[in-house]
C-alpha cells in the first residue's frame, strides 16, 4: 500500500540525517499481536527530519502500536522502519540500546519507576548512558524546574498527581535531548493551560532539531497547533494537513521563555 494521499509526492526521502534530527520512513509495515488481526496494515509514510507531527485516530486505532515500533519496543510483523539512516526494524539486538538513547519516549501510562524519586526517574536515561553524577546533579534539577517540579525533586511517583507524573515522564523523555521524541497522549492528564505549555516544551525541542511525533485524542490541541497529522483508521495511515490555520513559529515564543511560568504550576 502506497501513500494514500499525495502529501509526500516529490519529496526526496532523506534518510541520512543532519546531526541531531532524524527522518522516519515506514515501508509496507504491518503489525499484528499474536494471531490477532493486523493492527497496522501495510502502511508506508515518510516524516522529514526535524518535523513535528500529531498522530491521531480513535481509541484502539493503533497509535500506541505504531509508536511502539518507533521507540523500538517491538519489531513489525512485516515491512521495515527506517530512522537514523538505517533499517531499525531489523537492527541486531545489541545495536538497540544505542539507538534507543537517541529516542525520547513519553509513555501513555508514564511507566515511571515507583520506588525512585522524581530526580532519579528523570536521571535514568543519563545514568544508563553513563553520564557523570556531577552532570546529572546539574541538569536534572534544572529541567525539573522548567516543568514546574522544583518542589518535588525527592517525591516518588505514587505521591504525585496525575499531571505531575506526566511532567516527570516528559522530563525523562527530553532530558538527553533526543533526536526523536515520541509522546503518547502526553497531555492527557493535565488541564488545557498546562497542555499548551507542555506543547511549547516539545516545540522548543523541535526547534533545536528533534523530530517530534505526538499521539493525542485532544482535538482542541490539534486545532491549536499548525502541525500535519498522521491519521490512523482501519489499520491505514494517511497524512492530513494541519487543522490550525497559522504557520509554525508565529509568535509562539514572543514574550521570552514559554516555560518560565511553568514554575508556579
Ligand X SMILES: Nc1ncnc2c1ncn2[C@@H]1O[C@H](COP(=O)(O)OP(=O)(O)OP(=O)(O)O)[C@@H](O)[C@H]1O
Among 73, 244, 248, 252, binds another protein (CB under 8 A): 73
Contact code string over 99-128 relative to Mg ion, x by CB under 5 A: ---------x--------------------
Q: Which of 194, 170, 204, 206 is nearest to 53 (CA)?
A: 206
Residues 154 and 144: beta-carbon distance below 8 Å = no
Q: Could you list the residues that contact ligand X (CB under 6 A)?
A: 33, 36, 39, 57, 59-65, 108
53 near 212, Cβ under 8 Å?
Answer: yes
DSSP string for residues in 60-106: TSSHHHHHHHHTTSS--SEEEEEETTEEGGG--GGGHHHHHTTEEEE
CA distance 103 to 227: 20
Tell me which of Mg ion, another protein, ligand X, none is bound by residue 62, counting a contact when its beta carbon lies within the kind-specific cut-off of 5 to 8 angstroms. Answer: ligand X
- 152/165 with CB nearer ligand X: 165
**Minimum CB distance to ligand X smaller for 12 or for 59:** 59
The binder of Mg ion chosen from 64, 118, 166, 187 (CB under 5 A): 64
Q: Which is nearer to ligand X, 33 or 246 (CB)?
A: 33
- The cell for 7 is 502529501
How far apart CA 148 and CA 61 sit, in angstroms, is 33
> Is residue 204 within the footprint of another protein (CB under 8 A)?
no
**In this structure, what are the phi and psi dihedrals at residue 159, rounded to the nearest 5 degrees?**
-95, 5
Which segments of the chain does DSSP mark as H helices, in order? 63-70, 96-100, 118-128, 133-146, 162-174, 192-207, 219-224
Given 74, 151, 154, 193, the residue binding another protein (CB under 8 A): 74
Which one, 109 or 250, has the nearer CB to ligand X? 109
- How far is the C-alpha of 88 from the C-alpha of 81, rounded, in Å? 6
Work out whether 127 is an interface residue with another protein (CB under 8 A): yes
Eight-class DSSP state of 260:
G
Closer CB to ligand X, 48 or 184, in the complex: 184
Q: Check binding of 260 to another protein (CB under 8 A).
A: no
**Residue 98 binds which entry of Mg ion, ligand X, another protein, none, CB below 5-8 Å type-dependent:** another protein
Residues found near Mg ion in the complex (CB under 5 A) = 63-64, 108
Q: Note the residues at the interface with another protein (CB under 8 A).
A: 71-75, 93-94, 96-98, 100-101, 105, 111, 113-116, 120, 124-125, 127-129, 133, 172
Amino acid at each position: 500500500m502506497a501513500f494514500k494521499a499525495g502529501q509526500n509526492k516529490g519529496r526526496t526521502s532523506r534518510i541520512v540525517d543532519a546531526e541531531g534530527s532524524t527522518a522516519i520512513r515506514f515501508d509496507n509495515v504491518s503489525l499484528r499481536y499474536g494471531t490477532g488481526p493486523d493492527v497496522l496494515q501495510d502502511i508506508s509514510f515518510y516524516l522529514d527530519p526535524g518535523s513535528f507531527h500529531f498522530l491521531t485516530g480513535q481509541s484502539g486505532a493503533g497509535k500506541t502500536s505504531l509508536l511502539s515500533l518507533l521507540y523500538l519496543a517491538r519489531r513489525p510483523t512485516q515491512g521495515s522502519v527506517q530512522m537514523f539512516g538505517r533499517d531499525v526494524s531489523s537492527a541486531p539486538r545489541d545495536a538497540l540500546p544505542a539507538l534507543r538513547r537517541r529516542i525520547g519516549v513519553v509513555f501513555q501510562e508514564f511507566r515511571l519507576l515507583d520506588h525512585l524519586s522524581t530526580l532519579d526517574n528523570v536521571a535514568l536515561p543519563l545514568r544508563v548512558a553513563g553520564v557523570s553524577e556531577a552532570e546529572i546533579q546539574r541538569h536534572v534539577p534544572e529541567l525539573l524546574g522548567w516543568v514546574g517540579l522544583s518542589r518535588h525533586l525527592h517525591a516518588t511517583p505514587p505521591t504525585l498527581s496525575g499531571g505531575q507524573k506526566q511532567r516527570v515522564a516528559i522530563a525523562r523523555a527530553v532530558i538527553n535531548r533526543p533526536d526523536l521524541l515520541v509522546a503518547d497522549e502526553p497531555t492527557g492528564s493535565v488541564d488545557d493551560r498546562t497542555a499548551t505549555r507542555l506543547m511549547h516544551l516539545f516545540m522548543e525541542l523541535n526547534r533545536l532539531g528533534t523530530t517530534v511525533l505526538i499521539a493525542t485524542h485532544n482535538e482542541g490541541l490539534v486545532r491549536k497547533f499548525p502541525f500535519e497529522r498522521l491519521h490512523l483508521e482501519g489499520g491505514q495511515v494517511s497524512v492530513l494537513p494541519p487543522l490550525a490555520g497559522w504557520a509554525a513559529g508565529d509568535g509562539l515564543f514572543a514574550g521570552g521563555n514559554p516555560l518560565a511560568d511553568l514554575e508556579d504550576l
